[in-house]
Structure 1
Amino acid sequence: MGWHAALRLDYTCDAECTRARSAHTGPLRVLKALYPEGEAICHHVLVHPPAGLVGGDRLEVEARLGAGSHALLTTPGATRWYRSQGDEATQQVRLHLGEGARLEWLPLETLAYDGARAVNDLQVTLASGAAMIGWDLLALGLPAADAPFATGHFDQRIAIDGLWLEQARIDASDRLLLDSPLGLAGQRTLATAWLAWGSDPAEARVTQAIEGARALIEPGGAFEGTFAGVTRAQPRLIVLRALAGRTEPLFHLLRAVRAAWRSAAWDLPAAEPRVWRT
């Protein structure tokens, strides 16, 4: 029998103040709302006390952001997908942004242990004027412990309604995908970041966001050892892809790109969550 947990978050904005209400079932909840940038932006840390998923487990997160609200969601540590004897473990995330809302979806890394059978499903809807910065960081196996991802699979789906749909299965037996230069090229950690708008953004902001990210991934730069590229996949969507041997350089790259995009899209400083430094 799996363990089912669900969390519902509702954000509203009143007089430039973002407030949140939450409801949960099972071991999934948020810590106290924090406002390190003032009351306009609510920082929340999502906590799953078991700290990992096994076969049959199911996590569901739903966040609804009302018009004009701004929320930042992160996690206190890695999400671990452990070996399964048969059933898949599933995480389903649904994010709905109202008019003019802003969301930063910034979970820490996902670790797929050998033998994991995982489904990670993220779906986003953006109303007019809404915008989102998000990322996903996945390690296959435990590279730092020399524990390879030798069996199992990881299914990943990211969908932003009307803009982007990506879904794939990374199977441990698919050596062509894992080792080919046209696949993961032997790297075992991969990152995706995106900046998406619900309506057409100002071209100057798009250009600044793309140039800022490309400056960070230039050969010989601060993130040597990562392989990355950034593109404007749609008029309202910028996507960054990156590969590396470990999670640490990719996490530092994602933080830098997020800071560049926050400045370009919203004229805001980085203001990183304190939990990232603990």
Structure 2
Amino acid sequence: MIEPAQGAAGGVRWPARLTLSAARDDAGATRVQARHDGPLRLLKTLYPESLAIAHAVLVHPPGGLVGGDRLDIGLDVQPGAHLLVTTPAATRFYRSNAGEAAQVVHARVGEGGRLEWLPQETLAYPGCLARNEVVFTLAAGASLFATEVLGLGLPAADQPFDRGRLLQHLEITGQWLDRGWLDAADAALLDGPCGLAGHRVLGTLAYAQTSPLADADAEALLAAGRAALADTALAGVTHLQGARGALLLARVVGDDLEAVTLALRRVRAAWRASLWALPGEAPRIWAT
């Protein structure tokens, strides 16, 4: 276990690392092995759907990150394995007094593998200095679902995001990159009509595969996504296709974390059923 170390500004720097490796055994089950340093753990591996699909639940016992903290998560999905990763609680970036707090996720999905990265929401507290970086690399025949719901400030507690900044980096190597600073001082981005327009919750759902989608299939998936978002005022669904494969993207902007989260879950359920012939029920840990 890594002991806390002093940060540059005199605060405590508390790094943590977790590596998960998911492999398919001879019977077709996905088995997960974990290695960790510091306060980051694999709480449980569950099989609510079948032994072929492992649900890994990650926990960070400190409950949040302050300046100088860093969480490194490595995911290695071996060929043919199917891994779903989630958390029982939000990731919280607290006010920073000692430099940047960072959560960095690097995931590789092997040939024919499937990964679902479905953490609970990320909360950026007023005064945070944070980096939230997630990078996926897909081998031939691999596919991926990934979600990110970001809440700026704590409006229910009357703590607006009036200071601080967060770097959001979401990437599927060779297919999609969404990177930018969300800065409390950037009124044009946070309040302008071409930005968040005064809203403080941004949700993203991405589906990627390394093979193209037929035009008819893509249109049907777009229609299903838009139907799932029919009651959501500020939302959109996009299909991108290139030499590295196909990408479906759903994005929602709003004021309520739960509403944005549920909207994206509806889209995931529709797409999961169409693309993988699998039900879209929420992982059981979300109900606890």
Please report the TM-score for the alignment, with normalisation by the length of structure 2: 0.92
Partner amino acid, structure 1, of 2:15: H
Residues 189 and 195, structure 2, Cα contact 8 Å, conserved in 1: yes
Partner of 1:231: 238
- Contact kept, 8 Å, 1:143 with 1:246, in 2: the verdict is no
Partner of 2:89: 77
Q: How many residues align?
A: 273
Please state how far the C-alpha of 1:254 moved relative to its aligned partner. Answer: 1.3
Q: Which residue of 2 aligns with 1:11?
A: 22
1:208–1:264 CA contact under 8 A, matched in 2: no
Is the Cα contact below 8 Å between 2:24 and 2:80 reproduced in 1?
yes
**1:216 is the counterpart of 2:223:** no
Q: Deviations over 1:114-170 (max 9, x none)?
A: 000000111110011110011100000012222101111010111111101121001
Q: Does 1:146 align with 2:153?
A: no
- Preserved CA contact (<8 Å) 2:206 2:250: yes
Q: How much does 1:210 deviate?
A: 1.5
CA deviation profile, 1:190-240 (whole Å, cap 9, x unmatched): 01110100222444443332111111222xx3x4xx410011133410111
Unpaired runs of at least 5, structure 1: none
Inter-partner Cα distance in structure 2 for 1:22 and 1:79: 20
Q: Indicate whether 1:246 and 2:256 are aligned.
A: yes
Q: Could you tell me which of 169, 194, 199 is aligned with 1:182?
A: 194
Q: Which structure 2 residues correspond to residues 1-278 of structure 1 after superposition, within 5 A?
A: 1=6, 2-14=13-25, 15-218=27-230, 221=231, 223=232, 226-235=233-242, 236-278=246-288
Q: Which moved more, 1:203-212 or 1:161-170?
A: 203-212
> Where does structure 2 lack aligned partners over 5 or more consecutive residues?
1-5, 7-12
Compute the displacement of 1:272 (Å).
Answer: 1.7
For residues 137 and 162 of structure 1, the distance between their equivalents in structure 2, rounded to whole angstroms, comes to 23
Instruction: Decide whether the 8 Å contact of 2:44 with 2:58 is kept in 1.
Output: no
Deviation at 1:180, TM superposition (A): 0.6
CA–CA separation in structure 2 for the residues paired with 1:194 and 1:102: 13
Higher mean alpha-carbon deviation, 92-101 vs 265-274, is at 265-274
How far off is 1:255 after superposition? 1.1
> How many angstroms does 1:85 deviate by?
1.6
SS class of match (1:239)? strand
Are the counterparts in 2 of residues 205 and 265 from structure 1 also a CA contact under 8 Å?
no
Q: Which secondary structure does the structure 1 equivalent of 2:46 belong to?
A: coil
Moved over 3 A (4+): 201-205
Question: Which stretch has the larger CA shift, 5-14 or 228-237?
Answer: 228-237
Q: Equivalents in 2 of 1:234, 1:46: separation in Å?
A: 32
8 Å CA contact 1:71, 1:103 repeated in 2: yes
Quick one: distance in 1 between partners of 2:172 and 2:98?
30
Distance across 1 between alignment mates of 2:141 and 2:215: 15
- Contact kept in structure 2, 1:5 and 1:26, CA below 8 Å: yes
Amino acid at match of 2:268: R
Query: In structure 2, do the counterparts of structure 1 residues 272 and 183 end up closer, same or farther at CA, with 3 Å as the change threshold?
Result: same
User: Contact 2:229–2:267 (CA<8 Å) still a contact in 1?
Assistant: no
